[in-house]
Amino acid sequence: MIWRLGERLEELDQGEWEAEGCPAVFLTDSRNARKVLDLAGIQYENDIQLGQIGFCKLETQQECLVGTLCIPKLLDVLGSRYRIYFFINQDHVVLVDDEDFSMRLIRRIKRKKTHQGETKERFIYNYIAEFMSRDQELLMQYEKTLMGMEEDAMQGKIERFQQELMPIRRKLLNLRSYYDEMMDMGRELEENENGFFAKKQLKYFGTLSDRADRLMSRTSHLLEYAQQVRDVYQSQVDARQNNNMQFLTVLSTIFFPLTLITGWYGMNFQNMPELKNGYPGVIVLSLIVIIVCILIFKRKKIL
């Protein structure tokens, strides 16, 4: 599909575009990418394999800019990603996308934006800003989840805590790397090494870099907060272990003198006092020892 760059993105067929020869945005899939690149006057020698895209980057070539986007799906950050090639030359922008993700973005831009694509710089800004527009909301959801987990941990509700926390930390790590890549891409676009962009339009790419930087900072903050929440969980686990050890220590302290007493009376010496009628006495002595130990522990607030 082809859209004319202007105040509004107007859809054209190939015949209309060839007659007008205006700057345009081309959207195609990997099967038709070569034909569309030739149509836009872009030469790219490497293979176009969307499945091989692993991260966001920008490559500067002599006659064009070649970029790859590897965008996490917000509902499945750890799962599959949207993988897109984009090519930019002096006049045109070509998007290569085997899914309908770019089409949905362009439709949202046409529906929401007053200034949709007066220039290719404005279109690129709108395109990237649109797929990053919901990330702040996603990070807020992670923050609320972590706050809830922290409150539960402080109340001692720590069942399945690790199973819930670890996926969140992995998602945040993935997002932090993604925002770092997008920040670098924005800076490389702003450098305008090939001179494809008008200098007065470079501010848009600086805005994209700043947005990615803020998102990365927010994600780093959430990772630190997740570590704090984990520390709260660990303190609760340690407290439970300390209580269990304290209980076992109390039992050991109580039974140690009882063991000593039964050891003495188990020797069965011939001249041992109370050898014949000592059993009730041992019971009474043991009860006295237990009561005394409990009173001592209560006074020291151990029980």
Cβ(6)–Cβ(117) under 8 Å?
A: yes
- CA angle 159/160/163 to nearest 5° reads 160
| Cα distances (Å, whole numbers) of residue 278 to 261, 272, 285 | 12, 10, 10
- Give the model's pLDDT for residue 206: 92
Q: Which residues, at least 6 apart from 1, have a Cβ–Cβ distance to it below 8 Å?
A: 11, 26, 27, 28, 103
- Give the model's pLDDT for residue 79: 87
- Give the model's pLDDT for residue 72: 92
- 237: nearest Cα among 154, 301, 147: 154
Q: What is the pLDDT of residues 153-212, one digit of tens each?
A: 877 777 778 888 889 999 999 999 999 999 999 999 998 888 888 888 899 999 999 999
Token representation of residue 20: 């007008």
Q: What is the pLDDT of residues 29-55, one digit of tens each?
A: 999 999 999 888 888 888 888 988 999
User: Which residues of the chain have a pLDDT value below 50?
Assistant: none
Strands (E), the chain: 2-4, 10-12, 24-28, 57-60, 65-73, 76-88, 93-96
93-96 and 24-28 strand pairing: parallel
- Give the model's pLDDT for residue 87: 93
- Distant-in-sequence contacts of 260-267, Cβ < 8 A, 24+ apart: 261/285, 261/286, 261/289
- Give the model's pLDDT for residue 234: 78
The CA distance from 298 to 289, in Å, is 14
